[in-house]
Structure 1
Amino acid sequence: MAPFIPEDKISDIRNAADIVEIVSETVRLKKAGKDYIGLCPFHSEKTPSFTVSPEKQIFYCFGCHTGGNVFSFLMKQEDLSFPEAARSLAGRYGIEIPTQHLSPEQHQQTDERESLFAVNRQAAEYFHDVLLNSPAGEKARAYLEKRGIPEDIVRTFKIGYDPWGRENFTAWCEAKKICAAAEKAGLIVAKDGRFYDRFWDRIVFPISDIRNRVIGFGGRVLDDANPKRPKYLNSPDTSLYNKSRSLYGLHIAKQKCRESRTVYIAEGYLDLAALHRCGIGNSVATLGTALTRDHLMMLRGFADKIILVYDSDEAGIAAARRTGDMFQKEETDAYILVLEPAGHDPDSYLSEFGADAFLSAASRARSVISFLTDLAVKKHGLSTEGKIRIISEMTEPLAAITDNVARSLYVRDLAERVAVDEIEILNKINAVSSVRYDDFSGGPAERSIVRGYKLERKIIAMMLQFPQILPEIHQRNILEYFEDTMLQSLGQTILKHGNLRDSEGHLSDIMNFFTDNRLKNIAASLAIEKKDSWTREACMTLIAQFESGIIRDENKLLQKEIKMRETTTNCCWNC
């Protein structure tokens, strides 16, 4: 636990924060009895195994064995340290955390993210104001009007403009005395002892996180004629922004995505603006990078169906193919829409044909397997050699399908397409599948730890779920007889912080004291189990069962020792 956040403030945050509310921002939860379930945001799955308990204020995934409290969730979901997660939650719920006891180093660590958020927010307001209200923004306003981007979209996405000249924004930063923060955020760059604007003479697109906080920027030139200037330029990676883990427009699209359970993914800022202009609000865009696994994890909480919208040029087709392979590995219900006729991107297609034509084309989007099959046929042809290559190319994607029915149907379609017996294709797939193995994240050693010893696990579950029994556990020295050292360590932590046992948030609070993530995950697993209804009588029965086992083991050991001594004595007499 971070020593410079007072315990009473941690308790205040825990009491104010609702884990269901926090998790629901990124995971679609459904009520299941007293708990909520959903698809895990930390690993790929089609059947929900992620459980959130509002009563215990903890979460646990039975698929990847990750668990914890509201702090643990934010730390893993947003890649935060404990202090950062605590401060983030404190900010949401209006809880002030004193900073007077922080060292200079701790002040710097704590304030860096906040200063980056602040300078990004100020920069976004500056660029937006220049575009809308400054004579210097007239050229940019004319450009956006020509591209068919109306003012309401400009305001919704807070699109801005950094004027011509390399020091306009820099001079503004100098007047505000925020150059150091602006440089750290990647808004200005140092060269030859001076600062210069990174996005000069570019349309500027603020990139926000799911909570609508500006984390970075993208810039586009107004004139494509200068080959020395890249068409698009993004912020460098910072502690807030990483393009592989960010999606443009998700903070705006998330509600529409949840309502429709579908999300369209475009490749650029203006393509996304065109989609929203045409009323297709359940749309987001990648940021100059291929779609990543992190992007898919982000989208799981908002949509069941993903439709990738790619340009119909060669680069777009190649990108669609790479993404298709990843979709199969991540078991995502995904479709690929390549706009035709050739040469169209979403912006130009919508401008020429309109939203109805786009939605009609989207309804015919190909599943990943169908799309990959089409590409293979187009690439290799249907000669004998071509068919062999097609089947070889499709074996891995088909083997990756875990749904046996879906795999069977796709195999049948491929067999009909290439006029080859289904059995022969299945034989090739089975040969690939046979070398696959069930990959448990922690391997055999952690698998053994997670299972533990049955009775010892049950005692730990009892300690977590019925903390009134902790004095009895301590008095009888139960933990000293544990054989599983991991469970013993877990139990000792629970006993050490037994003063929390009368708190309603006992389970949530106790999670903060596990510095080892394996212990935290096991604790969450045992705390969320519902196999037993604990009463004091039931607890004493379990303790008696455990102690009788200890006595039996000691008796066996004693009998073994007596036999060994008798054998030794007999040998001596015989000698």
Structure 2
Amino acid sequence: MKYIPDDIVVKINGLPILNVAEKLGLSVNSKRTTLCFMHNDRSPSLHFNVRKNTFYCYGCSRGGNVISLVMNRLGLCFVDAAQWLIQAYGIDVPYGRKDYRKLKISVALPKAQKVKSEYVPDVELLSWIMDVAKLSDIAKDFLFHVRRYKEEVVEQKGIKSITDANKFYKVVVDRFGLDRCKKAGIVKWNFKEYRYETVFECPCLLFPFYDERGIIYTIQGRSLREYPTNRFSFPNHSDSFIFNLQDVLNADTETPIFIAEGGTDCLALLSEGKKAIAIPGAGAFKEEYIKYLKDKNLFMFADNDDSGKSLFARIDKALRVYGNYLHQMILNPKYKDYSEYYAEKR
């Protein structure tokens, strides 16, 4: 039986977790945080506690010690993760001990931020959520009175909402079962309260993302709380995508298409009668998106922050490889984003 002696486990878990994170290819900043590799992360939410030698993600609520970090990062079982650390750090384990057998494991050190399991959407489950969900009074007030988006635009883009997180959790788990909901990334484990819960911070809006075939790919939640822990959330393990991709696919090379940094800004642009798409943040942009954008007439009101500037620069740089570029539209500095500008002028 594969077995790691208790004293060796203690020794392994005593390895400096920041050093282990570095070996695993994680780029940890000065605040001891990094982008979480266990869910789609726009801003660093994976935190390392040097004093306790542990990690914890405030986005997906996953955490643990040194061995569990390796288990999650490399997809290994407990024993294999321990053996990986033994080999990586040259920890001496006497071969004469009867309670330990050397394991042959070959796991290459990952490059920074590259290890990620392939995302396969549960189309039936995601479609069911969007079909069953409706727009609550809270959502309507935010969309139509606070932000003043046009009702026909919200309806056309299929925006829905969740009000009660516990009720939503019960309904979706009763329908599909806990295991399937976990696999689909719709629920997560809450370490603090020791229970499963939905990944969406409710009350929230639901933005459906569809691929080029018109099949649902993922759902983004946008919290309507005044002070949310995570304003935006995707299912665990989910890739982000382009919101309202159909506007790009149906446009010719001359039609102006506006790129927004988020779904709500996209709704503002659409409410003005513009063709628009959304890419949810600089960290969500992928080079593969250029195949949809390279021959289009593109414009962008970048958010007045570093993330907005970064997203604009990344898209523009990728387009120039194909002889195209992104037209920069200047947003008055007093507005943080296009939605704020749109709401005031309405």
Q: TM-score range by the shorter chain?
A: 0.5 to 0.7
Q: Equivalents in 2 of 1:298, 1:213: separation in Å?
A: 16
Look up the match of 1:345: 337
Q: Does 1:262 align with 2:265?
A: no
Question: What TM-score do the two structures reach when normalised by structure 2?
Answer: 0.57
- Corresponding residue to 2:243 among 244, 248, 262: 248
CA contact (8 A) 1:224 1:231 kept: no
Q: CA deviation at 1:121?
A: 0.3
- Corresponding residue to 2:304 among 312, 321, 325: 312
- Which string of whole-angstrom CA distances, capped at 9 and with x for unpartnered residues, describes residues 96-143 of structure 1? xxxxxxxxxxxxxxxx95x8111110011122x2x2xxxxx2222212
Residues 115-134 of structure 1 correspond to what in structure 2 (within 5 A)?
Answer: 116-127=122-133, 129=134, 131=135
- Corresponding residue to 2:287 among 286, 289, 293: 293
Look up the match of 1:196: 197
Q: Equivalents in 1 of 2:307, 2:231: separation in Å?
A: 16
Paired amino acid for 2:185:
G
Paired amino acid for 1:116:
D
- Secondary structure of the residue aligned to 2:196 is strand
CA contact (8 A) 1:312 1:345 kept: yes
CA contact (8 A) 2:260 2:278 kept: yes
Structure 2 CA distance for partners of 1:317 and 1:179, relative to 1, 3 Å:
same
Q: Equivalents in 2 of 1:178, 1:253: separation in Å?
A: 36
Aligned residues: 223
Paired amino acid for 2:223:
V
Look up the match of 1:163: 163
Q: Equivalents in 1 of 2:173, 2:270: separation in Å?
A: 36
Q: Equivalents in 2 of 1:319, 1:151: separation in Å?
A: 29
Paired amino acid for 1:351:
A
Structure 2 CA distance for partners of 1:353 and 1:253, relative to 1, 3 Å:
farther
- Which string of whole-angstrom CA distances, capped at 9 and with x for unpartnered residues, describes residues 255-309 of structure 1? 2x227443211101110011111111x2101023343321111224xx4322222
- Secondary structure of the residue aligned to 2:282 is coil
- Which string of whole-angstrom CA distances, capped at 9 and with x for unpartnered residues, describes residues 462-503 of structure 1? xxxxxxxxxxxxxxxxxxxxxxxxxxxxxxxxxxxxxxxxxx
| Greater fraction of residues in strand | 2
CA contact (8 A) 2:173 2:181 kept: no
Structure 2 CA distance for partners of 1:181 and 1:293, relative to 1, 3 Å:
same
Q: CA deviation at 1:172?
A: 0.8
- Which string of whole-angstrom CA distances, capped at 9 and with x for unpartnered residues, describes residues 300-328 of structure 1? 4xx43222220234543344344443333
Q: Equivalents in 1 of 2:216, 2:128: separation in Å?
A: 9
Structure 2 CA distance for partners of 1:322 and 1:289, relative to 1, 3 Å:
closer
Flag the structure with larger Rg.
1
Paired amino acid for 1:222:
L
Structure 2 CA distance for partners of 1:336 and 1:163, relative to 1, 3 Å:
same
Q: Equivalents in 2 of 1:322, 1:175: separation in Å?
A: 43
Residues 97-116 of structure 1 correspond to what in structure 2 (within 5 A)?
Answer: 116=122
Q: Equivalents in 2 of 1:149, 1:201: separation in Å?
A: 19
| Structure 1 residues not aligned, in runs of 5+ | 1-111, 132-136, 355-575
Paired amino acid for 2:209:
I
Paired amino acid for 2:326:
A
CA contact (8 A) 2:261 2:308 kept: no
Look up the match of 1:490: none
Look up the match of 1:421: none
Look up the match of 1:181: 180
Structure 2 CA distance for partners of 1:258 and 1:176, relative to 1, 3 Å:
same
Q: Equivalents in 1 of 2:154, 2:338: separation in Å?
A: 18
Residues 405-444 of structure 1 correspond to what in structure 2 (within 5 A)?
Answer: none
Q: Equivalents in 2 of 1:171, 1:289: separation in Å?
A: 34
Q: CA deviation at 1:191?
A: 4.1
Q: CA deviation at 1:337?
A: 1.8
Aligned identity (percent) is: 18
Q: Equivalents in 2 of 1:173, 1:149: separation in Å?
A: 29
Q: Equivalents in 2 of 1:318, 1:288: separation in Å?
A: 9
Residues 312-331 of structure 1 correspond to what in structure 2 (within 5 A)?
Answer: 312-331=304-323
Residues 521-536 of structure 1 correspond to what in structure 2 (within 5 A)?
Answer: none
| Structure 2 residues not aligned, in runs of 5+ | 1-118
CA contact (8 A) 1:168 1:197 kept: no
Q: Equivalents in 1 of 2:217, 2:177: separation in Å?
A: 16
CA contact (8 A) 2:249 2:292 kept: no
Question: What TM-score do the two structures reach when normalised by structure 1?
Answer: 0.36
